[in-house]
Chains A and B, each alone.
Chain A
Amino acid sequence: MSRPKVAFYWCASCGGCEEAVVDLAENILPVVEAVDIVFWPVALDFKRKDVEALENRAIDVAFINGAIRLSEQEEMAKLLREKSKLVVAYGTCAYLGGIPGLANLTDRESILHYVYREAPSLAANPDTMPQEHVRMAEDGVLELPHFDDTVRTLDQVIDVDYYIPGCPPLPQLTLEAVQKILKGELPPKGAVLAPAQALCQECERNASKPERLMISDIKRVHEVIPDAKTCLLAQGLLCLGPATRGGCGALCVQANMPCTGCFGPLEPIRDFGGKALSLVASIVDSTDEKVLRECFAKIPDPAGTFYRYSLPAALLPQRRKINAR
């Protein structure tokens, strides 16, 4: 039998997920041995037409990272879906929208206006504004992808079989996932290929939690040098470990930085941000409105704090246009 055909593609992402694949390091070799990579723009010189040329479901598994922001990304996602037996949303951007998803706090117009009109780094011709159709001197009209108003998760565009969380995903998780799939040990569709339990479960600081996990003040990372042994949340830092799926081995916490939630919510949770917010608000130990307000003032950007990686997957995935009134 021929080796399983695998495709990699990146959409709205930073490229970190591609790095993650490369980070398999020497482990990548057996993988590469085992599979036949038919599409991987970052590393191999295949073109879209090569994919189009394939028969439907010819690809065994397609790993797509990044959120969906451009028409081109949407087209490629749909194309790969058509050509693949399995599609894996690789990394948190594809899974939940990720950092690019925070663009949903504003909109297309504002973004373009800022980037091409107001950005301090702006030098040259202030009239420049990306066009979808550009007439080229030599060969007619060049068409560029449409820049959507909304950032979407991969599964808001196509049907997704599995999810591998992480910003970026850990090589270890990736490897396990790939091996599972190659072995044909397929978990139930829609599964997130990472532990079912929260980060705290794999965090050795968990033991250091006090009798009552209540905090009198919220601290921001630049304000304190946290004790390297005790639970960061107990120290008043917004560590979202309790709300976040484990699997990273509490990397950030080991570096004495609070978890920001890149692995996304646990299975029973409908809205990562809402729940993380509820946790934080609940454990602030005061019944005095003034104290509470001062405390919450330490969270200047709640959306950015609680929805850092998951806004497009949230119950309210995009800022509402207040065109009423």
Chain B
Amino acid sequence: MPNEHNVPALPRIGVYVCHCGTNIAARVDVAAVTEYASHLPYVSVAREYKYVCSDPGQELIKKDIEELKLNRVIVASCSPHLHEHTFRLTTQAGGINPYLFQMVNIREHVSWVTEDSAAATAKAKALVRAAVQRVVFHEELAPKSYPVHPQVLVVGGGIAGIHAALTLANAAKHVYLVEREPSIGGHMAKFDKTFPTLDCAACILTPKMTAVKAHPNITLLTYSEVTRVDGFVGNYRVQVKRKPRYVEENKCLGCLECITGCVYKDARYPSEFELGLGKRKPIYVPFPQAVPLVPVIDAETCILFKSGKCPKGCVKACGDRAAINFDQKEEVLELEVGAIILATGFQTFDAGRLPFYGYGLYPNVYTSLEVERLVNASGPTGGEIVLRDGRRPKRVGIIHCVGSRDDQTNRWCSRVCCMYSLKLAHLIKERTGAEVYNFYIDMRTPGKGFEEFYQRLLDEQVHFIRGRVGEVNDWAAIPEEEGKLIIRVEDTLIGIARRIPVDMVILSVGLEPQADAAEVRKLFNITSSAEGWFLERHPKLAPVNTFSDGIFLAGCCQGPKDIPDSVAQAGAAAAEALALIDKGCVELEPNTAWIDAEHCSGCQACVALCPFTAIRFDAERRVSVLNEALCKGCGTCVAACPSGAAQQHLFLDEELFAEVEGVLA
């Protein structure tokens, strides 16, 4: 019930209803809404305009504020998440406090979702009326301003994380780069060549990796994970857990003698980095170019940890450098950073989920990532493309869209598979002269130089069969098929079912969110799409921002991307972080709560309810006191406060009650 005496100097409201071209006008009778608004209490002027967010549109508002002495502004257009900020600035430019503004969402919530015009118009009217009733109670506010910590946290040491970290470090900002694996490099480190230019991944990645290690502004934390995040934009407090690698980074010179010295004379455990195609010892570096070049001891397989008895060849080999320390314990670091860039990447689709492709059943069915290792000069076969039984494949089938564009598994296109399949086809053709068959649904080669690469492959006589493969099996229908893998597919261009016998099958597995993406999302308090990709604030206008200010996205954690796109996005994220830091301070929505001592019961219910410990009890005055700096503006104390002493700016009881009454009136 709006009690008049709360109303400051008689309101003079200007209402601006936006056509948004036809986005709104096509469904909502804008003229009618404007007419209706013009008769609402305290409304001095109501206008419609094609694009209120355009310069002339905003000018219109400023002019009215000055000439008609408006002291309240309402814009009925799109979502406040899109333009509330814009119009607050307009309101301010017009000469009144920016918070004397209220936005009405008649596009996302009305015109775009409502079939019937009359209904849409009625709904728009109701929402506008609600805003008019609400804005009457708006108060003059000032945004809360806080200093920003100049450091940045980058999570994930793949190419995106590396690039973001270097960009920031080169701008003289201190960066903490956290990577959970023993080395940075991510997926790119596993690749041999990169499409479409075929330059060697290691050649372009390794310099960046060493640059990270060498950079004075980068603190590299490998074999580490972020375990807690709190605080807010500009002032995040982050807890990082460092797993013990039992080799002290500061003492190790990277000579790798210890690995030679290990009691196990030869590597016997499947190497994670080589996806099991190669072997490693209990003490190992994932790959020769690893950064940092510091071995890790795997407690699972190290005989000392297992039996407690070991001659400790590694320790002997290390000698007086004494870098090896079996007593190393897990370490927990507390970091303070102003911005966070998430570059946590992707995982490849588990081909085992599609049993009819025979992955795991037939040894000569590989995933594309495994083949990346096979063709890689520093890979388990030294770049020799040979089957598990040592034979050289004469016929190779590459099946596209495994775990992509598939209702059974993942519906999205993974964007990179067509191109890396072409790349692998080329490399295999080049090195083995084998017949290579690509089985595709559609060839998607929209990038720079991509289509040309496709043409090149066609010229190289690589076969392309259009059709989704039905099954891969090992039984022969005719003698020629004996001992081969048979790819059964409907060739949709000639309309017949075919059986293609091959020696090697490569499954071009799609990209999907990391297995722990959901936990990471919660940890950093951001949202994600239904598929599990981290959600950008706006698909077009804020592609690297999240809904949590100060947390930015880079690379495949936001969706499938190729290397150039990941790098570009990483640069963008770094720029956003820089903008935030160099401004030096953040202005926060002044939607914090406060407690009116005059009415406070001193019951202290709010103290326990506040998730951010922003409220304490002042025993002297017997009232609760709220620390505005800690308050994040959820308003749960307001809802609970039995005496009405707790209130929240921008969401005052008066404002909400008036709004509810408005939408119903």
Residues of A with Cβ closer than 8 Å to B?
Answer: 196-201, 206-207, 209, 211-214, 233, 240-243, 266-270, 275-276, 278-279, 282-283
With A267-B644, A276-B642 given, is the CB distance from A200 to B602 under 8 Å?
yes
A210 to chain B, nearest CB (A): 9
A247 to chain B, nearest CB (A): 13
**Chain B residues with CB under 8 A of A209:** 603-604, 617
* B619, B639, B641: most-surrounded residue (chain A CB, <10 A): B641
Q: Are A200 and B599 in contact (CB under 8 A)?
A: no
* B600, B603, B644: most-surrounded residue (chain A CB, <10 A): B603
Q: Are A243 and B608 in contact (CB under 8 A)?
A: no
Known: A213-B603, A268-B647, A276-B642. 6 other contacts (CB 8 A): A199-B601, A267-B599, A275-B642, A275-B644, A282-B639, A283-B640
C-alpha spacing A267/B643, complex, angstroms: 8
* Total B residues in contact with A, Cβ cutoff 8 Å: 27
**C-beta contact mask, B593-628 vs A, less than 8 Å → 1, else 0?**
000101111111101110000000101001000000
Q: Are B605 and A242 in contact (CB under 8 A)?
A: yes
Q: Are A212 and B607 in contact (CB under 8 A)?
A: yes
Q: Are A282 and B609 in contact (CB under 8 A)?
A: yes
Does B645 interact with chain A (Cβ within 8 Å)?
yes
**Chain B residues with CB under 8 A of A206:** 602-603, 622
Closest to A272 in B: B642
C-alpha spacing A266/B653, complex, angstroms: 14
Main secondary structure, interface of B, reads: loop
B5 to chain A, nearest CB (A): 10
Closest to B608 in A: A212
Q: Are B645 and A268 in contact (CB under 8 A)?
A: yes
Chain B residues numbered 623-659 whose CB sits less than 8 Å from any CB in chain A: 636, 639-645, 647, 653, 657
C-alpha spacing A145/B636, complex, angstroms: 48
B634 to chain A, nearest CB (A): 13
Does B1 interact with chain A (Cβ within 8 Å)?
yes
**Chain A residues with CB under 8 A of B598:** 196-197
Q: Are A283 and B609 in contact (CB under 8 A)?
A: yes
Q: Are A283 and B622 in contact (CB under 8 A)?
A: no
Q: Are A243 and B601 in contact (CB under 8 A)?
A: yes
**Chain B residues with CB under 8 A of A200:** 601-603, 622
C-alpha spacing A183/B557, complex, angstroms: 75
C-alpha spacing A267/B636, complex, angstroms: 20
With A214-B608, A282-B609 given, is the CB distance from A198 to B601 under 8 Å?
yes
C-alpha spacing A218/B601, complex, angstroms: 21
A–B pairs, 29, beta carbons within 8 Å? A198-B642, A198-B643, A199-B601, A200-B603, A200-B622, A206-B622, A207-B619, A211-B608, A212-B607, A212-B608, A213-B603, A213-B605, A213-B608, A233-B603, A240-B642, A243-B642, A266-B645, A268-B596, A268-B643, A268-B653, A269-B642, A269-B644, A270-B653, A278-B642, A279-B641, A282-B639, A282-B640, A283-B609, A283-B640
B92 to chain A, nearest CB (A): 30
**Chain A residues with CB under 8 A of B653:** 268, 270
Q: Are B601 and A201 in contact (CB under 8 A)?
A: yes
With A212-B608, A213-B608 given, is the CB distance from A268 to B601 under 8 Å?
no
Closest to B642 in A: A243
Q: Are B640 and A197 in contact (CB under 8 A)?
A: no
Q: Are B645 and A201 in contact (CB under 8 A)?
A: no
Q: Are A269 and B643 in contact (CB under 8 A)?
A: yes
Q: Which 5 A/B pairs are nearest by Cβ-Cβ distance?
A: A268-B644, A242-B603, A198-B601, A243-B642, A212-B608
C-alpha spacing A278/B606, complex, angstroms: 12
Closest to A269 in B: B644
Chain B residues numbered 298-329 whose CB sits less than 8 Å from any CB in chain A: none
Closest to B637 in A: A282
**Chain B residues with CB under 8 A of A211:** 608
C-alpha spacing A266/B1, complex, angstroms: 15
Q: Are A241 and B607 in contact (CB under 8 A)?
A: no
C-alpha spacing A54/B642, complex, angstroms: 45
B336 to chain A, nearest CB (A): 27
**Chain A residues with CB under 8 A of B608:** 211-214, 283
**Chain B residues with CB under 8 A of A267:** 599, 644
Q: Are B643 and A266 in contact (CB under 8 A)?
A: yes
Contact of B605 among A196, A199, A201, A283 (CB under 8 A): A283
A284 to chain B, nearest CB (A): 11
A231 to chain B, nearest CB (A): 9
C-alpha spacing A199/B642, complex, angstroms: 11
C-alpha spacing A191/B605, complex, angstroms: 27
C-alpha spacing A282/B642, complex, angstroms: 10
Q: Are A270 and B622 in contact (CB under 8 A)?
A: no
B623 to chain A, nearest CB (A): 9
Contact of A197 among B599, B604, B607 (CB under 8 A): B599
A99 to chain B, nearest CB (A): 21
C-alpha spacing A292/B270, complex, angstroms: 50
Q: Are B599 and A266 in contact (CB under 8 A)?
A: yes
Contact of B602 among A198, A266, A279, A282 (CB under 8 A): A198
C-alpha spacing A224/B1, complex, angstroms: 40
Q: Are A282 and B605 in contact (CB under 8 A)?
A: yes
**Chain B residues with CB under 8 A of A276:** 642
Q: Are A270 and B1 in contact (CB under 8 A)?
A: yes
A207 to chain B, nearest CB (A): 7
C-alpha spacing A211/B599, complex, angstroms: 21
With A278-B639, A282-B639 given, is the CB distance from A266 to B644 under 8 Å?
yes
**Chain A residues with CB under 8 A of B647:** 268
Q: Are B1 and A242 in contact (CB under 8 A)?
A: no
Closest to B636 in A: A282
**Chain A residues with CB under 8 A of B600:** 197-198
C-alpha spacing A242/B640, complex, angstroms: 11
C-alpha spacing A233/B608, complex, angstroms: 14
Q: Are A268 and B604 in contact (CB under 8 A)?
A: no
Q: Are B643 and A243 in contact (CB under 8 A)?
A: yes
C-alpha spacing A282/B646, complex, angstroms: 14
Q: Are B602 and A201 in contact (CB under 8 A)?
A: yes
Contact of B601 among A207, A242, A278, A283 (CB under 8 A): A242
**Chain B residues with CB under 8 A of A278:** 639-640, 642
**Chain A residues with CB under 8 A of B601:** 197-201, 241-243, 266
**Chain A residues with CB under 8 A of B639:** 278, 282
**Chain A residues with CB under 8 A of B599:** 196-198, 266-268
Closest to A245 in B: B643
C-alpha spacing A71/B598, complex, angstroms: 40
Chain B residues numbered 258-274 whose CB sits less than 8 Å from any CB in chain A: none
A197 to chain B, nearest CB (A): 7
C-alpha spacing A103/B64, complex, angstroms: 54
C-alpha spacing A200/B622, complex, angstroms: 9
